[in-house]
Homo-oligomer: A and B are copies of this chain.
Amino acid sequence: MTAPPRRVTQRDIARLAGVSQATVSLVLNNRADAEIRIAPETRDRVLRVIAETGYAADPVARRLASRFNRIIGVFTYEPAFPSGSRDFFHPFLLGIEEYAERVGCDLLLFTSAPVVDGRRRIFHQDNRLRLADGCILLGREVDGAELHRLNRDGYPYVAVGRRDDAGGPVPYVGADYATAVNRLAELALRHGHRRLTYVGMGSTAESSEDRRRGYQAAATTAESARQVSAVAEDADACLDDLLADGTTVAFVEDFATAVALESAARRRGLTVPGDLSIVTLGDPTVPVPTDIAFTGFLIPREEMGRQSVEVLTGVIDGSAAGLQQRLLPCELVEGNTLGTPDPAVDRR
């Protein structure tokens, strides 16, 4: 194999066109400020040489010299492999990709970030953040300390999902879980339910808190509105608890837990929603096979992806300072796991 021919640079263009490198740069960037003047014939000559040589600017040097790169970084907190949550994140990426394409940006996936204690780290020995103009942060749980540092460094970023302040407001594009859960709870109340239980995952993430907040706000008119924690593996115990309590509708944060609850109920000869209504609070984060059409809502994942790019570009160029925190509405899904409470169970 012969040595790769050195790439064509502006200096080569300049030599061929009989001008200086600076002139080539000016022509390339279409600089037509009052201060910058290039004779049309010179410009044409330079452009002709550029076309002949097939020259293309080195984006690395460009980035080093000036400020921007048109590269958007994407950082995923969850370790990529092995992980069932990939399918959950895919729609976000599709939205990001779509909008990045529209605005002519490339996407840099920080797959090299090391995993420590089961979580990717942004900041580490060989931090590569600066390769991109800014960065989109994906992940259920985002490290507050790292957000602090991003803010302190003035590095442009946006989180997908609402985040609490971290040494300053955190730009984000989130889903409006509070409103969605609130609506579902009010729907259940209108169906006549009076004993509600929120089955959480024991997570303190903002997304979990928002859901609980929406639930609590609606639950004031209920006879009982509890909160418990459960995981899919523990569905039988959870079901026991719900039945003992006389709960008529369960708001289940984790989709897999809802599926497990439903099958546990079915195994005992109970029907959903006949004996127990189950409402889910978001798309499955791990693939769960089920034929049940759960009542719940959809997270607008693709749209969140798109808008996160939009917000990020605003953060990068310093515009749109007021619109850097967005909550998008979730579409309710009617499903058929929310019914009217069984009168026999309702008043016990």
A interface residues (Cβ-Cβ under 8 A, vs B): 1-5, 7, 54, 56-61, 63-64, 69-71, 80-81, 86, 90, 94, 97-98, 100-101, 104-112, 123-131, 149, 153-155, 318, 321
Contacts and interface: CB of A to CB of B under 8 A. Distances in A.
Contacts of A61: 64
A100 B86 contact: no
Contacts of A94: 86
B123 A112 contact: no
A107 B106 CA distance: 10
Contacts of A127: 56
What copy number does this chain have within its complex? 2
A106 to B, nearest CB: 5
Contact of A59 (B86, B98, B106, B131): B131
Given A5-B153, A5-B154, A123-B54, A100 B128 contact: no
B100 A112 contact: yes
Contact of A111 (B2, B105, B131): B105
A109 B109 contact: yes
18 contacts: A1-B154, A54-B149, A56-B123, A56-B125, A56-B127, A59-B131, A60-B63, A61-B64, A71-B108, A81-B97, A90-B90, A97-B111, A100-B112, A101-B112, A105-B112, A106-B131, A107-B109, A107-B111
Given A4-B153, A71-B108, 18 more contacts: A3-B154, A4-B154, A56-B126, A56-B129, A56-B130, A58-B130, A59-B128, A59-B130, A60-B63, A71-B131, A80-B97, A81-B101, A97-B111, A101-B111, A106-B109, A106-B110, A106-B111, A108-B108
Contacts of A7: 130, 153
Contact of A104 (B3, B70, B112, B123): B112
Contacts of A58: 64, 130
Contact of A64 (B60, B97, B318): B60
Rank and list the top 4 A-B pairs by shortest CB-CB distance, nearest first.
A4-B154, A56-B127, A107-B109, A101-B111
Contacts of A98: 80-81
A109 B107 CA distance: 5
Nearest to A98: B81
B107 A108 contact: yes
A57 B126 contact: yes
A104 B128 CA distance: 11
Contacts of A129: 56
Contacts of A125: 56
Given A4-B153, A60-B64, A154-B4, A128 B101 contact: no
Question: Interface centre among A5, A86, A106, A127, by most B CB within 10 Å?
Answer: A106
